[in-house]
Chain A
Amino acid sequence: MEFVAKVVVACLCTRPYFRFRGFIVGKRTSAGRVCARGAIMLVPIFTLKLNHKVNPRMVTMGKFDGIHPCLTAATQAGKVFIHNPHTRGQRQVAHRLSQSAQDSDISLLNINQAVSCLTAGSLGPNTTGDTLLVGSQTNLLAYDVHDNADIFYREVTDGANAIVLGKLGEIPYPLAIIGGNCALQGFDYEGNDQFWTVTGDNVRSVALFDFTGDGKNELLVGSEDFDIRVFKEDELVSEMAENETVTSLCHMHGSRFGYALANGTVGVYDRTARYWRIKSKNHAMSIHAFDLNADGVEELITGWSNGKIDARSDRTGEVIFKDNFSASVAGVVEGDYRMDGQIQLICTSVEGEVRGYLPASKEMKGNLMDSSVEQDLIRELSQRKQNLLLELRNYDENAKATPGVSEGDSGMGVIPANTQLQTALAVRAATESQRAHIELSISTPNGTGWQYQSPEESPTEDSASQARLVFFPETIIRAVLIFAEGIFEGESHVVHPSAQNLSGCVRVPIIPPKDIPVDLHVKAFVGGKSSTQFHVFEITRQLPRFSMYDLNVDPDAPQPTGRVAFSINDRPQRVVMWLNQNFLLPEGIESPDVTLTCLRGGGLLSISMESNGEITLNTDDIDLAGDLVQSLTSFLAIEDLQAEADFPSYFQELRTTLTEVDEFHSVHQKLTAAIADHSNHIRNMLVQAEDARLMGDMRTMKKRYIELYDLNRDLINEYKIRSNNHNALLACLKSVNQAIQRAGRLRVGKPKNQVISACRDAIKNNNVNALFKIMKAGTASS
Chain B
Amino acid sequence: MEINLNHVDYIQVGVTSQKTMKLLPAIGRKATQKVAVADHDGVLTCFGMKKGEAVPVFKTLPGQKISRLELGGAQGTPQEKIFVSCGSEVRGFTKKGKQFLCFEANLTESINAMHVSGADLFVCASYIYNHYCDCKDQDYYLSGDKINDIVCLPVETVGRTVPILACQDRVLRVLQGSELLYDVEVPGPPSVLELNDKDGGKEGEEVLYGTADGKLGLVKITESSHVSKWEINNDKRRGGILCIDTFDLVGDGVRDILVGRDDGTVEVYVLDSSNEPILRFEHVLSESVTSIQGGCVGKENYDEVLTTSYTGWVTGLTSEPQQMEAGPGEEVKMSKETQAKVAALRSELEQLQVKVLQGREKYQQSSQSSTAVSTVPVFSVNDKFTLCQDDASYSLTLEVQTAIDNLLLQSDVPIDLLDVDKNSAVVSFSECDSEQPNGNFLLATYRCQANTTRLELKVRSIEGQYGTLQAYITPRLQPKACQVRQYQIKPLSLHQRTHSIDQDRPVNTLSLVGQFSFAEIHSWVVFCLPEVPEKTPAGDNISFYFHNTFLGTQLEATYCKGEAHFKSDNISTISILKDVLSKEATKRKINLNISYDINEDSVSHTLTMIHPKLEYQLLLAKKVQLIDALKELQVHEGNADFLIPEYHSILDESAHLLEEYKKQPAHLERLYGMITDLFIDKFKFKGQNVKTKVSLLLEILDNYDLNSLMDFFNEV
Complex interface bits, B302-329 against A, C-beta within 8 A gives 1, otherwise 0: 0000000001010001000011111010
Q: Which of A485-526 contact B (CB under 8 A)?
A: 488-498, 500-501, 523, 525
- With an 8 A cutoff between CB atoms, is B618 at the interface? no
Q: Is the CB of B639 within 8 A of A38?
A: no
Identity of the chain A residue whose Cβ is nearest the Cβ of B11 in the assembled complex:
A382
Decide yes or no: A489 and B431 within 8 Å by CB, A364-B326, A417-B369 being known contacts.
yes
CB contacts (< 8 Å) of B432 on chain A: these are: 494
Residue in B328, B356, B371, B425 whose beta carbon sits within 8 Å of that of A281 in the complex: B425
Q: Is the CB of A378 within 8 A of B370?
A: no
- With an 8 A cutoff between CB atoms, is A200 at the interface? no
Q: How far is the CB of B56 from chain A (nearest CB, A)?
A: 15
Identity of the chain A residue whose Cβ is nearest the Cβ of B338 in the assembled complex:
A374
Complex interface bits, A524-565 against B, C-beta within 8 A gives 1, otherwise 0: 010100011111111000000000000000000000000000
- With an 8 A cutoff between CB atoms, is A366 at the interface? yes
Identity of the chain A residue whose Cβ is nearest the Cβ of B377 in the assembled complex:
A394
Q: Is the CB of A373 within 8 A of B332?
A: yes
Q: How far is the CB of B349 from chain A (nearest CB, A)?
A: 6
Q: Given the complex of chains A and B, what is the CA–CA distance between A383 and B474 in angstroms? A: 17
- With an 8 A cutoff between CB atoms, is B366 at the interface? yes
Q: Which of A395-423 contact B (CB under 8 A)?
A: 395-399, 401-403, 405, 412-419
- With an 8 A cutoff between CB atoms, is A79 at the interface? yes
CB contacts (< 8 Å) of B637 on chain A: these are: 101
CB contacts (< 8 Å) of A415 on chain B: these are: 373-374
CB contacts (< 8 Å) of A374 on chain B: these are: 334-335, 338, 342
Q: Is the CB of B352 within 8 A of A388?
A: yes
Identity of the chain A residue whose Cβ is nearest the Cβ of B372 in the assembled complex:
A417
Q: How far is the CB of B332 from chain A (nearest CB, A)?
A: 5
Q: Given the complex of chains A and B, what is the CA–CA distance between A203 and B4 in angstroms? A: 51
- With an 8 A cutoff between CB atoms, is A465 at the interface? no
Q: How far is the CB of B634 from chain A (nearest CB, A)?
A: 8
Decide yes or no: A454 and B371 within 8 Å by CB, A1-B7, A492-B447 being known contacts.
yes
Identity of the chain A residue whose Cβ is nearest the Cβ of B41 in the assembled complex:
A393
Complex interface bits, B339-376 against A, C-beta within 8 A gives 1, otherwise 0: 00110011011001101100110110011111111111
Q: Which segment, of B114-122, B139-147, B177-185, B400-408, faces chain A? A: B400-408
CB contacts (< 8 Å) of B283 on chain A: these are: 1
Q: How far is the CB of B443 from chain A (nearest CB, A)?
A: 4
Residue in B376, B423, B425 whose beta carbon sits within 8 Å of that of A533 in the complex: B376
CB contacts (< 8 Å) of A266 on chain B: these are: none
Decide yes or no: A401 and B635 within 8 Å by CB, A279-B426, A496-B440, A498-B439 being known contacts.
no
Q: Is the CB of B430 within 8 A of A488?
A: yes
Q: Given the complex of chains A and B, what is the CA–CA distance between A280 and B317 in angstroms? A: 31
- With an 8 A cutoff between CB atoms, is B418 at the interface? no
Q: Given the complex of chains A and B, what is the CA–CA distance between A266 and B349 in angstroms? A: 33
Decide yes or no: A392 and B9 within 8 Å by CB, A384-B349, A417-B373, A454-B371 being known contacts.
no
Q: Is the CB of A34 within 8 A of B323?
A: yes
Residue in A76, A101, A397 whose beta carbon sits within 8 Å of that of B632 in the complex: A76
Residue in B326, B443, B484, B632 whose beta carbon sits within 8 Å of that of A34 in the complex: B326
- With an 8 A cutoff between CB atoms, is A75 at the interface? yes
Q: Is the CB of B367 within 8 A of A418?
A: yes
Q: How far is the CB of A393 from chain B (nearest CB, A)?
A: 8
CB contacts (< 8 Å) of A495 on chain B: these are: 438
Identity of the chain A residue whose Cβ is nearest the Cβ of B659 in the assembled complex:
A326
Q: Given the complex of chains A and B, what is the CA–CA distance between A497 and B438 in angstroms? A: 5
Residue in A391, A402, A457, A525 whose beta carbon sits within 8 Å of that of B359 in the complex: A391
Residue in A34, A40, A377 whose beta carbon sits within 8 Å of that of B342 in the complex: A377
Q: How far is the CB of A158 from chain B (nearest CB, A)?
A: 28
Q: Is the CB of A493 within 8 A of B430?
A: yes
- With an 8 A cutoff between CB atoms, is B539 at the interface? no
Q: Is the CB of B479 within 8 A of A491?
A: no
Q: Is the CB of A390 within 8 A of B379?
A: yes
Q: Is the CB of A500 within 8 A of B437?
A: yes
Identity of the chain B residue whose Cβ is nearest the Cβ of A102 in the assembled complex:
B638
Residue in B362, B371, B438, B636 whose beta carbon sits within 8 Å of that of A77 in the complex: B636
Q: Given the complex of chains A and B, what is the CA–CA distance between A537 and B376 in angstroms? A: 12
Q: Is the CB of A534 within 8 A of B373?
A: no
CB contacts (< 8 Å) of A379 on chain B: these are: 9, 313
Q: Is the CB of B632 within 8 A of A77?
A: yes
- With an 8 A cutoff between CB atoms, is B2 at the interface? yes
Q: How far is the CB of B589 from chain A (nearest CB, A)?
A: 22
Q: Is the CB of B322 within 8 A of A416?
A: no
- With an 8 A cutoff between CB atoms, is A385 at the interface? yes
Q: Is the CB of B378 within 8 A of A479?
A: no
Q: Is the CB of B325 within 8 A of A38?
A: yes
Q: Given the complex of chains A and B, what is the CA–CA distance between A381 and B5 in angstroms? A: 24
Q: Is the CB of A381 within 8 A of B638?
A: no
Q: Given the complex of chains A and B, what is the CA–CA distance between A374 and B52 in angstroms? A: 13
CB contacts (< 8 Å) of B355 on chain A: these are: 388, 392
Q: Given the complex of chains A and B, what is the CA–CA distance between A39 and B321 in angstroms? A: 12
CB contacts (< 8 Å) of A531 on chain B: these are: 376, 484
Q: Is the CB of A494 within 8 A of B437?
A: no
CB contacts (< 8 Å) of B3 on chain A: these are: 3
Q: Given the complex of chains A and B, what is the CA–CA distance between A79 and B410 in angstroms? A: 47
Identity of the chain B residue whose Cβ is nearest the Cβ of A385 in the assembled complex:
B349
Complex interface bits, A66-78 against B, C-beta within 8 A gives 1, otherwise 0: 0000000001110
Q: How far is the CB of A86 from chain B (nearest CB, A)?
A: 22
Q: How far is the CB of A534 from chain B (nearest CB, A)?
A: 5
Q: Is the CB of B628 within 8 A of A281?
A: no
Residue in B5, B377, B412, B424 whose beta carbon sits within 8 Å of that of A398 in the complex: B377
Q: Which of B420-445 contact A (CB under 8 A)?
A: 421, 423-432, 437-440, 443-445
Q: How far is the CB of A626 from chain B (nearest CB, A)?
A: 30
- With an 8 A cutoff between CB atoms, is B487 at the interface? no
Q: Is the CB of A416 within 8 A of B372?
A: yes
Q: How far is the CB of B7 from chain A (nearest CB, A)?
A: 6
Q: Is the CB of B349 within 8 A of A533?
A: no
Q: Given the complex of chains A and B, what is the CA–CA distance between A4 and B424 in angstroms? A: 23
Q: Is the CB of B402 within 8 A of A501?
A: no
- With an 8 A cutoff between CB atoms, is B478 at the interface? yes
Q: Is the CB of A479 within 8 A of B408?
A: yes
Q: Is the CB of A402 within 8 A of B480?
A: no
Identity of the chain B residue whose Cβ is nearest the Cβ of A405 in the assembled complex:
B373
Q: Given the complex of chains A and B, what is the CA–CA distance between A389 and B351 in angstroms? A: 11
Q: Is the CB of B638 within 8 A of A378?
A: no
Q: Is the CB of B372 within 8 A of A481?
A: no
- With an 8 A cutoff between CB atoms, is A444 at the interface? no
- With an 8 A cutoff between CB atoms, is A53 at the interface? yes
Residue in A3, A405, A491 whose beta carbon sits within 8 Å of that of B4 in the complex: A3
Q: Is the CB of A281 within 8 A of B424?
A: yes
Q: Is the CB of A75 within 8 A of B482?
A: no
Nearest 9 Cβ contacts at the A-B interface: A101-B638, A490-B428, A395-B359, A394-B377, A536-B480, A38-B326, A417-B372, A533-B376, A494-B430
Cross-chain pairs A/B with CB under 8 angstroms, 27 sampled: A3-B3, A76-B635, A100-B635, A364-B326, A374-B334, A378-B338, A381-B349, A384-B349, A388-B356, A389-B352, A391-B477, A392-B356, A398-B374, A398-B479, A399-B362, A413-B481, A454-B371, A478-B472, A489-B428, A493-B430, A494-B444, A498-B412, A498-B438, A527-B376, A534-B483, A535-B479, A535-B481
Contacts beyond the supplied A36-B322, A281-B425, A490-B428: 10 A-B pairs with Cβ under 8 Å: A52-B635, A281-B426, A362-B328, A363-B326, A378-B9, A399-B362, A417-B368, A453-B371, A494-B408, A525-B472
